Amino acid sequence: MRLRFVATLAPPVPGLGRSNAGKVVSFLPLDRIWADSRFDPSHTIEFSGDVESYNPVREGDLLVPKVSPTFAHGRTAIASGLTGGRALATSEVFVLRPDDPRDAAFLRYRLISPDFLREGQSAWHGVAGLKRVSGDFLMSTRIATRAWRDRHAIADLLDRECERIGGFAARSAGLRAVLARAKATVSTSLFMRHAGDAVPLWAASDPARPIMYGIVLPGEHVPDGVPVVKGGDVENGRLLPPLLSRTTAAIDAAYARARLRRGDVLVTIRGSYGATAVVPPELEGANITQDTARVAPRPSSADGQWLWLMLCSAQVRDELSLVATGATIKGVNIRDLKRIRVPIPSLGTQRSEVAAAMASLGRLRTAQETAERLTHALTAYRSSLIHEAVTGKLDVTAASDRQMDERLHAAAEGRLDEVPV
């Protein structure tokens, strides 16, 4: 069966004709329509009588995005809580009205199932970034006979299970936030403990290799095979794999001076400034772009990992925020970066503190990665469950609470394949 036999596309909305000019109704742009059937109907607009520029909506209608990437994200919602029971939606959504209002919940799940979203992305048309699915594609959506027969039971089960999955995911997200704060606290606490030993960053740097910007412009090429680390590659605590350049230009003296060494500390200084990382052995000899600065620790008094911890602290981040300038894209200049004060206790103290801090950060990172894996597993399970249910592969009439409990816990533990459908 096809969707066109059970729903109407762009139906008329009584009460939103030219004679209703001046009526206040909800206004629904794309940025107020999210996944999980959530949207914000609180924003209102005075209806001008223009019935061509917007899509009229009635309480209970389905809102289906037609443009990428909102379509791919499954941002389909059921209109509810509308001012006066009416709304004007952006022209970038389809308005779909089920013949029976009780079918709206099932149809929403059908229209966010992974197979529907994949087929839509294969069928959409238009230029890059502005691709759209067509109304014909939408109305030709297949609905399995078995699933349609059990549509109300399917909607009830998916409502219940998606709420439970969301609860687990929310707790996982909360744990990740707590762990992220705990990681930030490690360096901040160290900074406070040794604040009496603070010196300007230039004094903790190698005078033979002064703090300097990267010399490579974003997009510029350097000699063949030389990695270039961009500001976007720098994350707190690690470096993403850099791209290799593909030109054969000669290495000049400036490039040579900018080459990184193991243990150098990188600090992003434009845009998302303040992200830091320590250069690992495999990136020795790389270059950096101009949105990043290199800080080489003074060999006789500063440890690279210690400097990294200090630059991760809330105190340094706050200081960078105070000195950052720029109207549209803020940045920090080298002069201000050099003046940032960081504690530099004895090398022995630095190394012992680094060892303890890295052990703590390692445990926190492991816990955070576990929480992230759980979030990904739950997200994948939700998509899989919706697909199985709306395509008729899961017999919801025979699915017991115990079976669904087992499936949820198996998904969280990464062993869903062991549980039969």
Tell me the per-residue pLDDT of 147-200, one tens digit each, with 9 for 90 and over: 999 999 999 999 999 999 998 888 888 988 898 889 889 999 999 999 999 999
- Mark whether 121 and 204 lie in a shared domain: no
The verdict on residue 370 lying in a domain is no
Mean pLDDT for the chain overall = 87
> For residue 107, is it within any domain?
yes
Q: What's the rounded Cα separation, in Å, for the pair 46 and 419?
A: 53
Residue 277 structural domain: 195-344
Query: Which regions of 82-233 does DSSP assign to beta strands (E)?
Result: 86-89, 93-98, 198-200, 212-213, 227-229
Write down the pTM of the prediction: 0.74
Q: Is residue 245 part of a domain?
A: yes
List pLDDT tens digits, range 273-296.
888 999 988 888 888 888 889 999
User: Does residue 98 surpass a pLDDT of 50?
Assistant: yes
Instruction: Mark whether 335 and 199 lie in a shared domain.
Output: yes
- Co-location of 230 and 338 in the same domain: yes
pLDDT in tens, 346-361: 999 999 999 999 999 9
Specify the CATH number for the domain of residue 26: 3.90.220.20
Question: Of 142, 166, 182, which one is at a domain's C-terminal end?
Answer: 142
**Distance from C-alpha of 228 to C-alpha of 210, rounded to nearest angstrom:** 19
| Strands of the 227-229 sheet, one edge to the other | 243-244, 227-229, 287-288
Higher pLDDT, 419 or 20: 20
Please check whether residue 414 lies inside any domain of the structure.
no
CA gap 342, 276 in Å, rounded: 14
Q: Would the pLDDT of 375 be above 70? A: yes
Residue 70's pLDDT is what? 87
Domain contains 401: no
Provide the number of structural domains found in the chain.
Answer: 2
The domain boundary residue, chosen from 344, 360, 378: 344
State whether 134 and 242 are in the same domain: no
| 275 DSSP assignment | -
- Of 316, 344, 372, the position where a domain reaches its end is 344
Residues 330 and 266: their CA atoms lie apart, in Å, by 18
Closest CA to 141 of 241, 44, 64, 36: 64
Contact 23, 83 (CB under 8 A): no
Helix residue ranges, H only, 277-346? 304-311, 314-323, 334-339
Containing 413, the helix (H) or strand (E) segment is none
> Is residue 257 assigned to a domain?
yes
Indicate whether 287 belongs to any domain.
yes
**Quick one: which of 190, 209, 200, 212 has its CA closest to 355?**
190
In DSSP notation, 332-346 reads: --HHHHHH-EEE---
Same domain flag for 114 and 235: no
How many C-alpha atoms does 406 have within 13 Å on its Cβ side?
A: 10
Residues 80 and 17 in one domain: yes
CB 20, CB 88: distance < 8 Å: no
Would you say residue 391 lies in a domain?
no
Instruction: Please check whether residues 199 and 338 belong to one and the same domain.
Output: yes
